[in-house]
Chains A and B, each alone.
Chain A
Amino acid sequence: MKRAFLALGLGFLWAPVLLMAAYAFSESRVPFQWGGFSTRWFTALAANERLLEAAWLSLRIAAASASLALLLGLALGWVLARHGHFAGRPIFGALAGAPLVLPEVVTGLALLLLFVGLQALTGWPAQRGAMTVWLAHSALGMAYVAVLVQARLASLDPALEEVAADLGASPLAVFGTVTLPLIVPSLAAGWLLAFTLSLDDVVLASFVSGPGATTLPVYLFSQLRLGMTPEANALAVVMLGGAAVLGGIAWVIRRPG
């Protein structure tokens, strides 16, 4: 019974993905129609400059926003876990968790209006583009990092930090040599999660981006409305391969012994 559910669920999740992978190697111009084996769609993909440009921009924005989200989320998680009960703590907690639960269409509209308002008041940001997408994705990612960091900090044995302090380490040294190494797994998980969210986001990027800064998901979404070519299938194979390689590396690094 449990097995049947698991098989059904995995089959459902994988069916369209496996079909994409299979038909990526089809000669036919129509997606999901078999026309003999061919790798022409991979060649077409490698020659599609607009797509490659969008992919490169997406990767850069994802890496930059995951990094900013890491810093902000670390600070947020630290305050949530270590500052006890301060004035406004319930509001602080609700705001820190809000990006996790807000519908993305609301977050997108809200951040766009923030940027427009800031521009009217201060002249900055002068134009919307990669920079505003970067900030929007960081605002989303920091909430995910904060939750992971907070949970990890709450589960640490306080004796470890106390021992270091008793032996004369300054608070900064305690953080750098004891706390930080202990929370590295959550930081890595948080960075990767923020990276993934940014790389897959259509809605926030559509709202806060400007002309000339088209991320990969936004480009694909616009192409999808015009009708997709089998290039999409080839791209899915490339993404899946990249994810499998990254996952394999993470698996080897984390494997105990």
Chain B
Amino acid sequence: MIRAATWAALVLLVAAPLVIVFGMGFGTPIAGVPPVIPPFGAAGWQGSFEAWSLLLADNFYLDTLLRSLRLATVTAALCLALGFGMALGIASAAPRRQALLLALVLLPFWTGSVLRMAAWVGLLRDGGWINAVLMQAGLITEPLPLLYSEGAMLVGMVHGYLPFAVLPLTAALTKRDLRLEEAAADLGAGRATVFLTVTLPLAAPAAAAAFLLVFIPAAGEVVIPEVLGAPDSMLIGRAIWGEFFQTRDWPQAAALSTALLALLLIPMALYQRLSVVR
């Protein structure tokens, strides 16, 4: 009975919404509430392929998708590199201090994602803190155009997603058997060799999980690019948001969502394989 109930919850809250998104990609936008004619009506099929043909024919959407994947890759790589170093540092601390260090990683999160992005705006804008400090120091005379750029967006993304990389890496690195590294060192391996041939391979599954745990949500991120990114470099999350809230073109938003999901299908399946306890 409990299995039937959980099936019902999953079908209603997870499967059905996704199926509806897929179907909505073949709807027709109208001026009304809701602003759409569904692809199936009383008379049967009444759908259109307009949203999908626009998506596939217009380079704007394809460029947007590719740019999103590229930025998500850079974000995930940066988070992985910095997160790996941090996780090694936490794992090599005394057990009592590990909890404190993890708390220090997580606590900034509690200010909330919107407020943290507001802080970056305050730091990076033309009259902001960083420019003011640099001008006071006499290093620059004109404010640097830091905000609303790809760089500002990457700073925000790494700031937002870094803990997602640190947590799985710390879990894996604290559990590793230190004797393996000692044995390698005893047999004459240098520190770099020990790291590359023992530590890194041991942590590879966790590193892959950490990369995906950042990459997948970053690919569809809305808030950070909206607040910090350049207005002309459109990302897919913002595009879906805009089609829905501004243009009120639900079929286009649904088709873009379906395309994003299709591109993320392999990373999502990989992540589930790496993380799910079976």
Seen from chain A, the residues whose Cβ lies within 8 Å of a Cβ on chain B are 1-6, 8-10, 12-14, 16-17, 19-20, 23, 30-33, 72, 75-76, 78-79, 83, 86, 88, 92-99, 101-107, 109-111, 113-114, 116-117, 135, 138-139, 142, 147, 150-151, 154, 196, 199-200, 202-203, 206-207, 216-217, 220-221, 224, 228, 232-233, 235-236, 239-240, 242-244, 247, 251
Nearest chain B CB to A200 CB, angstrom units: 5
B116 touches A117 (CB 8 A): no
- Cα-based distance from A55 to B276 in the complex (angstroms): 34
Nearest B residue to A86 via CB reads B3
- Interface residues, chain B, with chain A CB atoms under 8 Å away: 2-3, 5-7, 9-18, 20-21, 24, 34, 82-86, 88-90, 92, 99, 101, 103-105, 107-123, 127-129, 132, 158-159, 162-163, 166, 216-217, 219-223, 227, 237, 240-241, 244-245, 250, 253-254, 257, 260-261, 264, 268, 271-272, 275-278
- The reply to whether B2 and A105 contact each other, CB–CB distance below 8 Å, is no
| Closest B residue, CB atoms, query A241 | B110
Which residues in B have their C-beta under 8 angstroms from that of A228? 118, 121-122
Q: Which of B17, B34, B132, B220 has the most CB of A within 10 A?
A: B17
The residue that A16 contacts in the complex, of B86, B104, B120, B127, with Cβ under 8 A, is: B120
Since A17-B111, A196-B110 are in contact, a sample of 15 more A-B pairs with Cβ atoms closer than 8 Å, ordered by chain A residue number, is A10-B105, A92-B7, A96-B6, A109-B244, A109-B253, A114-B12, A154-B277, A199-B112, A202-B223, A217-B112, A217-B113, A224-B121, A228-B122, A232-B118, A233-B119
User: Judging by beta carbons under 8 Å apart, are B223 and A221 in contact?
Assistant: yes
Nearest CB to that of A151 among chain B residues? B277
Given A92-B10, A243-B107, residue A103 in contact with residue B264 (CB < 8 A): yes
The docked-state distance in angstroms from the alpha carbon of A105 to that of B92 is 38
Q: B110: which of A33, A107, A232, A243 is its contact (CB, 8 Å)?
A: A243
Chain A residue numbers with a CB within 8 Å of B123 are 16, 19, 32
Q: CA separation between A29 and B90, bound complex, in Å?
A: 40
Instruction: Flag if B220 contacts A106 (CB, 8 Å).
Output: yes
Residues of A contacting B216 in the complex (Cβ-Cβ under 8 angstroms): 101, 103
CA distance A235 to B168 in the complex (A): 30
Contact flag A2-B110 (CB < 8 Å), given A32-B123, A79-B6, A103-B219? no
Kindly provide the distance from the CB of B102 to the nearest chain A CB, expressed in whole angstroms.
11
CB neighbours of B85 from chain A (8 A): 1-2, 4-6, 8-9
Chain A to chain B: the 5 pairs with minimum beta-carbon distance, closest first: A103-B220, A5-B85, A6-B89, A243-B110, A110-B17
Question: Could you tell me the distance in whole angstroms from the C-beta of B232 to the nearest C-beta in chain A?
Answer: 17
Nearest CB on A from B174, distance (A): 13
Report how far A9 CA is from B88 CA in the complex, Å.
Answer: 12
Inter-chain CA distance A114–B21, complex, in Å, is 9
- A99–B13 alpha-carbon span in the complex (Å): 10
Contact of B112 with A200 in the complex, beta carbons under 8 Å: yes
Given the known inter-chain contacts A110-B21, A202-B113, please indicate yes or no for A6 contacting B122, CB distance below 8 A.
no
Min Cβ gap A44→B in Å is 15
Chain B residues within 8 Å of A147, by CB: 275-277
CB–CB B237/A224 < 8 A: no
Once bound together, how far apart are the Cα atoms of A70 and B127, in whole Å?
A: 46
Residues of B within 8 A of A86 (CB): 3
Kindly list chain B residues whose C-beta atoms are within 8 Å of the C-beta of A135: 13
Q: How far is the CB of B29 from chain A (nearest CB, A)?
A: 14
Q: Are A242 and B110 neighbours in the complex by a CB distance under 8 Å?
A: yes
**Would A113 and B240 be within 8 Å (CB), given that A6-B90, A6-B101, A17-B111 are in contact?**
no
Given contacts A2-B89, A13-B162, A116-B34, contact A105 B257 (CB under 8 A): yes
Q: How far is the CB of B21 from chain A (nearest CB, A)?
A: 5
Q: Are A110 and B20 in contact (CB under 8 A)?
A: yes
The docked-state distance in angstroms from the alpha carbon of A5 to that of B78 is 12
A-B contact pairs, 20 of them (CB 8 A): A10-B104, A13-B159, A13-B162, A16-B116, A16-B120, A23-B122, A93-B278, A103-B216, A103-B237, A103-B260, A104-B220, A113-B254, A138-B13, A147-B275, A202-B113, A202-B223, A206-B245, A224-B114, A232-B115, A247-B107
Write out the residue numbers on chain A whose beta carbons fall within 8 Å of the beta carbon of B5: 75
- Nearest B residue to A17 via CB reads B108
Q: Which residues of the partner chain B approach A200 to less than 8 Å between Cβ atoms?
A: 109, 112-113
Closest CB-CB distance, B151 to chain A, in whole Å?
Answer: 14
Give the shortest distance, in Å, between B26 (CB) and chain A (any CB): 13
| CB pair A79 B2 closer than 8 Å | yes
Are the CB atoms of B112 and A5 closer together than 8 Å? no
Q: Are B105 and A106 in contact (CB under 8 A)?
A: no
Most A C-beta atoms less than 10 A away, residue of B34, B120, B127, B163: B34
A224 CB contact (under 8 Å) in B16, B227, B245, B257: B227
Q: A86-B3, A96-B10, A101-B271 are in contact. Are A113 and B20 (CB under 8 A)?
A: yes
